Amino acid sequence: MTFHDAATREFPPFSTDACIKCTVCTTVCPVARVTDAFPGPKYVGPQAQRFRGPSVDGGSPDHTVDLCSGCGICTRACPAGVLIAETNNRARAAIVAERGSSLRNRLISDTDMLIRLGTPLAPLANFGLHNRPLRWVGEKVLGIHRRGPLAAFSRRTFGSWWKRRGGPTSLPAEPDPARTLVYFHGCAVNGFEPDLGRDAVEILERNGFTVIVPPQECCGLPFVSNGLYDHARRKARRNLESLAEFARAGYRIVGTSTSCTHAIKAEYREMLDLVDDDARVVADATWDICELLVELHDRGELDTRFAPVPESLPYHPPCQLKSHGIGTPAMDLFALVPGLRATDSDHDCCGAAGTYGLKVERWQIAQDVGAPLFAKVRAAAAAGASRAACDSETCRWQIEQSSGVPAVHPVTILAESYRRADEAVDGRWRRVV
Amino acid sequence: MASADVVVIGAGLAGLSCAAELVERGARVFLAAKGMATTHWTHGGIDVAATQGARSARDGVERLGAVAGHPYARLGDEVEPALDRQLARLASAGLPYVGGLDTPLVPVPTAIGTLRPAALLPRGQASAAEPWDGDGLLLVGFGRYRDAWAPYATRNLVAANWPGGPREVRAAVVDLPWVARLHNLNGLTLARLFDDPMWRGRALAAVAAAIPAGRWRIGMPAVLGIERHREALAEAEATLGARVFEVTSLPPSVPGMRLFEALRRRILDGGGRIQVGFDVTAVEREADHVLAIHTDAASRTLRLVAGTFVLATGGIAGAGFRAGRDGRLEERVFDLRVTAPPRDAWFSDDPLTPHPLEAAGIEVDDAMTPEGLANVRVIGSALAGMHYLDQRCGDGVALASAHRVARSLASPREMAA
């Protein structure tokens, strides 16, 4: 065990004592790379942490910590094992607790509420999202940048599709945890990208799993990122209550958003202090979908009858995926698809960082952070690529918005490859209904 | 799970160089590191053996090779081929070095105005080691950049005993365009500015205006570009009409970051994989054989399977060892036995004499194999028996041990141009 042991994981600021002031974190910080306003992870993290405390007058010594986008690259680069990004996120939450939060931040964090309002009115809501004068008003009134990457609402939620399909939502009468998976779709699949959820279900079912979709809410990460820990805890608690019985019964929970799965695996504990038995069993049972598919492949259990997908594909591993510590499982899966030539973007961060890139006062920073990535994606498109791939939704939306190239989740490509394989057998293009 | 022919643990000079050599020889390599390492803090030159009294690196290697237990006692003949490969590798990456094993060790100035012996420097620092022949040294500092303060260094250099040194040493502090508006200034900030041709032109014009009449060689903070360093250096010499060299200072070390990036690129282009933030938390072993290591991942560990595991995690000043209150030094990955003085000898009244703990490390055989684990190799400053600060041999030991291991694990293949 190292500094990443249980105690520091439960209270990351403890780890700041291990800082040797080497400045490696500042050299890798994408925000410090593009703006002088942010002094970098070392200053707002281990340095400022010494002056933070509940009893100090005014509480927070340095508000520039709020410029941290929370990508977590500093934590991974630190040779001393300091949980820098986690410490900084907590510092932001302390500022929010002290000074309150803006209406904008509370609004953009409450994705479930937005989806409840937006999906029934999808055509109208989407008109608003794509209407320049309205976006201008949104920028002036709310502070959501008029060119911030917002996805279009789906006309129906993934949840309602699942309901209509009659898919299971609760513990089966005859438990078979080895061949059953619990799908955590998250808010993005539910309200914006239900097709991704269908692709995931299709892939899992094809590999012999029964899929259960229990009642769930947004993982709470948008609230975490905006320092609204109380709101985030309410979301997390309700998810844990729903998921814990599956985890205890030995079921694995799989998600298609690396952000949600990382929130459940790590942030519930490291930021929200959720350290009870429910949180532990659920975290231990949670998998990113590509991580799980690679694990299946390692055991020789993945259906590898992939039909060729002859295209070149720029792939961007999102920051949240990197924080899982599992490398780039999507790249391993792409290697199984004949003809697919995927290239790792080798770029730190797209800039979006969840809701960061939406904010009028952060939009330019987010654009500058992602600019080299957008250029790479555009260059790949100019060379013939028709799309990019990325595991996290807000990163995909940022890439699409800023490069003009469509971006899909890796499993979308795998599902297509499977469908082409079926089509080659019997000439029919199937899609789960 | 991930698998490779060789897993290299550690992303310092030893680990990166070993991984680069391995991919060049056609091996499948996975480099896993807890974090980024010493390249970002050190000067970017290659200290092979600038030990006291040595005239050249070759002389130093011979002297240290005669010291019982020193890594050069086993690696002496490995230094030259290792160095040849590394210099060719870096030159082809656009980061040429100047000097070699037989180049006389000469004093070069540091950012605080001390002198350190050097014989092998990146092109950007090399002019400091050329004969002065009556040239004066103008040390340039940049206004508000406190990490390399020219007047302070100059005061020390004027007072220093510098045989064969410059005619005179003077300082100039230049205010660079736009910098006064910055809140946060470190070497990397300036290096990124120097990458920008427009800004660079104005900055160099400001420096040129500060050069007094006469023959000068210009020492500047080591911030002359990060991605476009070659271009920045060439333009500096052209604009200033003088030889220019970089003086390295506090972290982040821009020359070290250039070195890191050149090697990282080499490994990735050769099909190797690099993962930073991968801390080893468990080892699967069977008798004297390591089957797999596990790295820390959210909720579980990632299993890395390989035929051979190369330990390049650093010495007592790196992250390779951890000291316990019981006086035991623990090697953090494989729990290898660390040869170290007893705890009573860990403390010294004089902080500037070689520290006894510096020589702590792991004993290996000629193949760099530690006792008890047949498919593990140990390279770099985790090796026992050297005082790498005082003997200035850390880079050479890193390269030689990395080369010995890579050569034994992968058959030679034509090095890509």
Q: Are the beta carbons of B299 and A79 separated by less than 8 Å?
A: no
pLDDT tens digits, B208-247: 999 999 999 999 999 999 999 999 999 999 999 999 999 9
- Please give the backbone phi and psi of residue B283, each rounded to the nearest 5 degrees, phi first: -130, 135
pLDDT tens digits, A69-113: 999 999 999 999 999 999 999 999 989 988 899 999 999 999 998
Q: Is A185 an interface residue toward B (CB < 8 Å)?
A: no
Residue corresponding to tokens 């237990």:
B69
Between A118 and B141, whose confidence is greater? B141
**What's the predicted TM-score (pTM) here?**
0.95
The kind and range of the H/E element at B301 are strand B301-311
Q: Does residue A55 carry a pLDDT above 60?
A: no
Q: Is A323 an interface residue toward B (CB < 8 Å)?
A: yes
Q: Does residue A295 carry a pLDDT above 90?
A: yes
Residue B173 bridge partners (DSSP): B141
pLDDT, residue A3, reads 41
Please report which confidence band the pLDDT of residue B416 belongs to, taking 50, 70 and 90 as the band edges.
very low
Angle (nearest 5°) at CA B302 between B299 and B304? 170
Q: What whole-number distance in Å separates Cα of residue B180 and Cα of residue B360? A: 46
pLDDT, residue A292, reads 98
Alpha-carbon separation of residue B360 from B342, B349, B355, B382 (angstroms):
10, 19, 10, 8
Q: What whole-number distance in Å separates Cα of residue B140 and Cα of residue B19? A: 38
Q: Is A295 an interface residue toward B (CB < 8 Å)?
A: yes
Q: What whole-number distance in Å separates Cα of residue A219 and Cα of residue A186? A: 6
Q: Which residues of A283-312 are buried (b: 16+ CB within 10 A; e: fewer)?
A: bebbbbbbbbbbbbbeeeebeeebbebeee
Quick one: tokens of A265?
Answer: 């695996």
Q: What whole-number distance in Å separates Cα of residue B226 and Cα of residue B146? A: 19
pLDDT, residue A433, reads 62
Q: What whole-number distance in Å separates Cα of residue A141 and Cα of residue A264? A: 33
Q: Please state whether beta strands B2-9 and B301-311 pair in parallel, antiparallel, or not at all (unpaired).
A: parallel
Q: What whole-number distance in Å separates Cα of residue B356 and Cα of residue B242? A: 44
Contact A71, A348 (CB under 8 A): yes
- Please give the backbone phi and psi of residue B28, each rounded to the nearest 5 degrees, phi first: -85, 120
pLDDT tens digits, A396-412: 999 999 999 999 999 99
Q: What whole-number distance in Å separates Cα of residue A359 and Cα of residue A394? A: 13
pLDDT, residue B327, reads 83
HSE-CB of A160 using CA atoms within 13 angstroms: 11
Angle (nearest 5°) at CA B44 between B41 and B46? 125
Please report which confidence band the pLDDT of residue B417 belongs to, taking 50, 70 and 90 as the band edges.
very low
Rounded to the nearest angstrom, the minimum Cα separation between B259 and chain A is 14
Q: Is A324 an interface residue toward B (CB < 8 Å)?
A: yes
| Chain A residue whose CA is closest to B3 | A298
Q: Which chain B residues are Cβ-neighbours of A40 within 8 angstroms?
A: 184
Question: What is the separation of C-alpha B250 from the centre of its chain, rounded to a whole number of angstroms?
Answer: 14
% of chain B exceeding 70 in pLDDT: 99
Q: What whole-number distance in Å separates Cα of residue A272 and Cα of residue A266? A: 10
pLDDT, residue B70, reads 97
At A305, which amino acid appears?
Answer: R
Q: What whole-number distance in Å separates Cα of residue B368 and Cα of residue B370? A: 6
Summarize the confidence of residues B373-400 as an average pLDDT: 95
The kind and range of the H/E element at A316 are strand A311-316
Contact A220, A236 (CB under 8 A): yes
pLDDT, residue A428, reads 77
- Please give the backbone phi and psi of residue A106, each rounded to the nearest 5 degrees, phi first: -70, -35
Alpha-carbon separation of residue B326 from A17, B230, B321, B342, B362 (angstroms):
21, 50, 14, 10, 19
Comparing CB atoms, the residue among B40, B257, B297 nearest residue A326 is B297
Q: What whole-number distance in Å separates Cα of residue A76 and Cα of residue B300? A: 16
- Interface size, chain A vs chain B, as Cβ–Cβ contacts under 8 Å: 99
